[in-house]
Amino acid sequence: MRGQVLKADGADGPGLILGDDGVRYNYEQAQVRGGSSLASGQKVDFIGLGDEARDIYALGPAPQAAAPAPAPMPSVAAAPVETIQPPYPQVQAPRQAYGSKPPAVPGDGVWTYFIRSITKNYFKFTGRARRQEYWGYTLFNVLAYIAVFILDIILSAIIYGGGDFIPLLTLLWFLFQIIPSIAVTVRRLHDQDLSGWLYLITWVPYIGWLVIFVFMLIDSRPESNVHGPSPKYDPAASAFN
């Protein structure tokens, strides 16, 4: 797969490559072949494994900034020219409207967020999670419940001849997903600049789950908070995922 380096690997964290498939991949200098050192804007060829880039090859030299044009030599013979103001007002760039948000950073995909939630971020209760990450996890979690429930029906019919139903796989999946489900919800609350302890409101009968559901629908806040930069509106947040 080919892509472009967004951020080089350095002391501030792993590097970042934007693949042609629109997905961001983390990389380390150890994965760069040929002994070359990558720079921002450089085209590369690599193998994507999950959210990491492996076996990276640079495609050509790193882009270099254009040299500044030499300043013109002053002419002693030229007479000073009076600056003439235009008869019309200068056009200024439009200011960002009050309450508007910066452009959103493309997400990593709902399937990638789901796999990351049950592996790398299984016990991660810190940081922030954008709306796409939470609902990507929720979507595939529901699909997993449906799949294991159907398997339980088939296994019960084979083992017990349809007389008894033992939801063994459904119970195992329920126990497995408790922690990542709470973790991604806590990170989603952090994205609203709220305390993760607000998750305990789900224990309030009738309305607790509804309050959390509403918070899960609210868009990310573009500004940084104590939990980190915005995962939707700040490109630097990719290094924290």
For the segment 111-120, what is each residue's pLDDT rounded down to a tens digit? Answer: 999 999 999 9
Q: Return the domain boundaries, the chain.
A: 2-58, 110-240
Average pLDDT over residues 99-105: 78
Give percent above pLDDT 70 in the chain: 82
Average pLDDT over residues 140-150: 96
Average pLDDT over residues 71-75: 59
Average pLDDT over residues 71-85: 53
Top-confidence residue, 13 or 88:
13
Q: How confident is the model at residue 76 (pLDDT cuts 50, 70, 90)?
A: very low
The whole-angstrom separation of Cα 67 and Cα 64 is 9
pTM over 0.95? The answer is no
What type of residue is 155?
L
For the segment 150-187, what is each residue's pLDDT rounded down to a tens digit? Answer: 999 999 888 877 677 889 999 999 999 999 999 999 99
pLDDT of 79 reads 45
The whole-angstrom separation of Cα 199 and Cα 178 is 13
Average pLDDT of the chain is 82
**Residue 157 CA from chain centroid, whole number:** 43
The whole-angstrom separation of Cα 16 and Cα 23 is 10
The whole-angstrom separation of Cα 104 and Cα 99 is 15
For the segment 11-21, what is each residue's pLDDT rounded down to a tens digit? Answer: 777 888 778 87
pLDDT of 39 reads 80
pLDDT of 98 reads 45
Top-confidence residue, 198 or 54:
198
pLDDT of 88 reads 47
Average pLDDT over residues 41-49: 80
pLDDT of 151 reads 94
The H or E element that residue 49 is part of is: strand 43-49
Cα–Cα nearest to 110, from 75, 91, 136, 147? 136
Residue 124 has pLDDT above 90, yes or no: yes
Domain 2-58, classified CATH 2.30.40.10, yes or no: no
The whole-angstrom separation of Cα 158 and Cα 145 is 20
From residue 216, alpha-carbon distances to 10, 95, 187, 233 in Å are: 34, 31, 10, 17
Q: How confident is the model at residue 227 (pLDDT cuts 50, 70, 90)?
A: very high
Average pLDDT over residues 21-43: 79
Q: How confident is the model at residue 203 (pLDDT cuts 50, 70, 90)?
A: very high
pLDDT of 240 reads 62
